[in-house]
């Protein structure tokens, strides 16, 4: 692995918290993600199933985690099944975990090779009443490709139609929403690497650079720091490209006078950072760009102050929307009288700020978690207001990652330049 060791206590504790949510006579089974094919004999790199990682720390394909707290045999209460390695696999694919290493990484006491799974599963299905299986229940997921978990579910339900099947995802959403100190440590590192890449860009961006050259700088900084790469496709949008929210073609040449919107984040140990900054290609904002930037920054600071224990995402978005509305009126983009008469279900500010202000962040960049749960200490949210004015070829978004604490919050990106004066000074250097 490129990242340093993670204390196995993280995964031991995650399993303990998961077990606490299970009724008696439960069996839970988690599969690794597939290595996805591309064309011919090509494949993508493995992106581990985040729930399996969360419960085991194992970053290897074809792994299966079984949790059966009431199993008659103690050795069956937690089992990790792994692909048995061989001299042939070593030569052709590289190093795979031994049983001892898997035990050390995960803290799971029983490690078996995959060929033992059918017999153990038959024994445990015989004991179990409730079977927890894993599906992707992210509210915005669009999954057309059948996952390993999905195939496993079909097969198991066909062979054992009379068990009571239950959703592991619901429990994982509950657990993963609250980050433990070890997870925060990993997320801090992802944020730190991301910040280093941003500082590097402040000395790199100038008129004439191509958006993909900027993307390459980010990639270089990430990979040399032990990140596997970006946690999501980097958005590098100059001028009018900045007004396209999910712009990823990154193939325009940056011009003097453009603002360049950067939205990128490192993955570190499977955890994501998610940063947005908007910088002047020439090194200095025009008065209008600066005016819009300062408006977004004020909304950002207000929104951040509302990411506190007890607030609710619906109220939060309403509070932020009202502040944004006033800023858009001051920028002459909305008229106060129109705002007064607007349909509250379709507020006018959405024309210039069409996305939400915050989402959960963690192993997934749009992390799992029940959306309508009140803010609690240990949750990490992004804070990312933006104003996009297509007719002015101008888009500005500012985004930091915020840990909610018992007494307020901590900005995990507090040291990444954000104020206009700092951005311009660092670009001049």
For Mn ion, the closer CB: 60 or 276: 276
For Mn ion, the closer CB: 215 or 399: 399
**Is the alpha carbon torsion for 180, 182, 186, 192 positive or negative?**
positive
Pick out residues in 175-204 that bind Mn ion (CB under 5 A). Answer: none
Q: Which two tokens stand for residue 194?
A: 């991301």
Using CB under 5 A, which of the segments 56-64, 215-223, 317-325, 397-405 binds Mn ion?
A: 397-405
Q: Which residues carry out catalysis?
A: 41, 246, 263, 274, 355, 359, 366, 384, 388, 397, 399
Alpha-carbon distance of 100 to 111, in angstroms, equals: 8
**Start-end of H helices in 71-180:** 87-92, 99-106, 117-127, 148-159, 168-176
If one asks whether residue 367 binds ligand GLY (CB under 6 A), the answer comes out as: no
CB of 171 to ligand GLY, least distance (A): 25
CB of 355 to Mn ion, least distance (A): 9
Alpha-carbon distance of 325 to 329, in angstroms, equals: 6
Residues 39-58, mask of contacts with ligand GLY (x by CB under 6 A) = --------------------
Give helix then strand counts, H and E, for the chain: 13, 17
β-strand pairing of 275-280 with 380-383:
unpaired
If one asks whether residue 364 binds Mn ion (CB under 5 A), the answer comes out as: no
CB of 401 to ligand GLY, least distance (A): 10
Of the candidates 199, 190, 175, 289, the residue with the CA atom closest to the CA atom of residue 239? 289
Q: Map tokens 């099944």 to a residue.
A: 81
CB of 367 to ligand GLY, least distance (A): 11
Q: In angstroms, what CA-CA distances link 159 with 125, 133, 163, 388?
A: 10, 15, 10, 54
If one asks whether residue 384 binds ligand GLY (CB under 6 A), the answer comes out as: yes
SS3 of residue 119 by DSSP: helix
Alpha-carbon distance of 22 to 68, in angstroms, equals: 9
Using CB under 5 A, which of the segments 50-58, 221-229, 268-276, 330-338 binds Mn ion?
A: 268-276
Residues 213-252, mask of contacts with Mn ion (x by CB under 5 A) = ----------------------------------------
Alpha-carbon distance of 365 to 248, in angstroms, equals: 16
If one asks whether residue 258 binds Mn ion (CB under 5 A), the answer comes out as: no
The residue from 227, 382, 400, 409 that contacts Mn ion (CB under 5 A) is: 382
CB of 399 to Mn ion, least distance (A): 5
Using CB under 5 A, which of the segments 40-48, 197-205, 292-300, 399-407 binds Mn ion?
A: 399-407
- Tell me, by CB under 5 A, how many residues bind Mn ion: 6
If one asks whether residue 78 binds Mn ion (CB under 5 A), the answer comes out as: no
For ligand GLY, the closer CB: 59 or 384: 384
If one asks whether residue 215 binds ligand GLY (CB under 6 A), the answer comes out as: no
If one asks whether residue 401 binds Mn ion (CB under 5 A), the answer comes out as: no
- Residue 232 site contact among ligand GLY, Mn ion, none (CB < 5 to 8 Å, cut-off depends on kind): ligand GLY
- Tell me, by CB under 6 A, how many residues bind ligand GLY: 7
If one asks whether residue 400 binds Mn ion (CB under 5 A), the answer comes out as: no
CB of 364 to ligand GLY, least distance (A): 11
For Mn ion, the closer CB: 321 or 356: 356
The residue from 13, 232, 291, 347 that contacts ligand GLY (CB under 6 A) is: 232
CB of 230 to Mn ion, least distance (A): 11
Pick out residues in 247-306 that bind ligand GLY (CB under 6 A). Answer: 263, 274
Q: Which two tokens stand for residue 338?
A: 């129109």
Of the candidates 221, 353, 204, the residue with the CA atom closest to the CA atom of residue 281? 204
Q: In angstroms, what CA-CA distances link 373 with 157, 174, 318?
A: 32, 9, 16
Core vs surface per residue 115-151: b (16+ CB within 10 A) or e: eeeeebbeebbeebeebbbbbeeeeeeeeeeebbbbe
Core vs surface per residue 192-228: b (16+ CB within 10 A) or e: bbbbbbbeebbeebeeebebeebbebbbebbeebebb
Interaction site with ligand GLY (CB under 6 A):
232, 263, 274, 359, 365, 384, 399
Interaction site with Mn ion (CB under 5 A):
263, 274, 276, 382, 384, 399
């Amino acid at each position: 692995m490129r990242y340093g060791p993670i204390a196995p206590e993280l995964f031991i504790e995650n399993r303990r918290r998961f077990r606490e949510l299970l009724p008696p006579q439960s069996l839970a089974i988690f599969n690794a993600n597939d290595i996805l094919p591309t064309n011919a004999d090509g494949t993508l790199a493995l992106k581990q199933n985040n729930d399996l990682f969360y419960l085991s720390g194992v970053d290897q394909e074809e792994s299966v985690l079984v949790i059966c707290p009431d199993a008659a045999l103690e050795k069956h209460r937690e089992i990790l099944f792994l692909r048995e390695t061989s001299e042939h696999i070593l030569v052709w694919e590289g190093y795979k975990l031994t049983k001892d290493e898997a035990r050390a990484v995960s803290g799971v006491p029983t490690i078996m090779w995959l060929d033992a799974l059918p017999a153990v599963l038959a024994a445990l299905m015989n004991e179990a009443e409730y079977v927890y299986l894993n599906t992707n229940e992210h509210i915005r997921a669009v999954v057309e490709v059948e996952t390993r978990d999905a195939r496993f579910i079909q097969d198991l339900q066909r062979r054992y139609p009379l068990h009571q099947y239950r959703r592991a995802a619901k429990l994982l959403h509950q657990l993963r929403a609250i980050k433990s100190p070890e997870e925060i440590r990993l997320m801090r590192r992802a944020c730190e690497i991301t910040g280093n890449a941003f500082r590097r860009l402040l000395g790199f961006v100038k008129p004439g650079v191509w958006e993909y050259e900027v993307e390459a700088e980010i990639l270089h900084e990430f990979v040399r720091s032990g990140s596997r790469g970006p946690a999501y496709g980097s958005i590098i949008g100059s001028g009018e490209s900045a007004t396209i929210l999910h712009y990823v073609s990154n193939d325009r040449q940056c011009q003097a006078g453009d603002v360049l919107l950067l939205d990128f984040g490192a993955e570190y140990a499977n955890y994501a950072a998610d940063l947005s900054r908007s910088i002047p290609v020439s090194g200095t904002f025009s008065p209008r760009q600066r005016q819009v930037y300062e408006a977004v920054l004020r909304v950002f600071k207000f929104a951040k102050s509302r990411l506190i224990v007890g607030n609710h995402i619906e109220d939060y978005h309403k509070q932020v929307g009202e502040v944004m509305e006033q800023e858009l009126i001051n920028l002459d983009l909305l008229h106060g009288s129109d705002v007064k008469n607007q349909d509250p279900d379709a507020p006018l500010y959405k024309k210039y700020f069409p996305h939400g202000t915050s989402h959960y962040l963690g192993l997934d960049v749009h992390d799992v978690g029940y959306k309508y749960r009140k803010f609690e200490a240990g949750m990490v949210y992004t804070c990312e207001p933006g104003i996009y004015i297509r007719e002015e070829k101008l888009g500005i978004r500012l985004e930091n990652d915020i840990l909610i604490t018992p007494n307020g919050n901590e900005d995990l990106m507090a040291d990444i330049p954000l104020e206009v004066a700092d951005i311009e000074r660092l670009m001049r250097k």
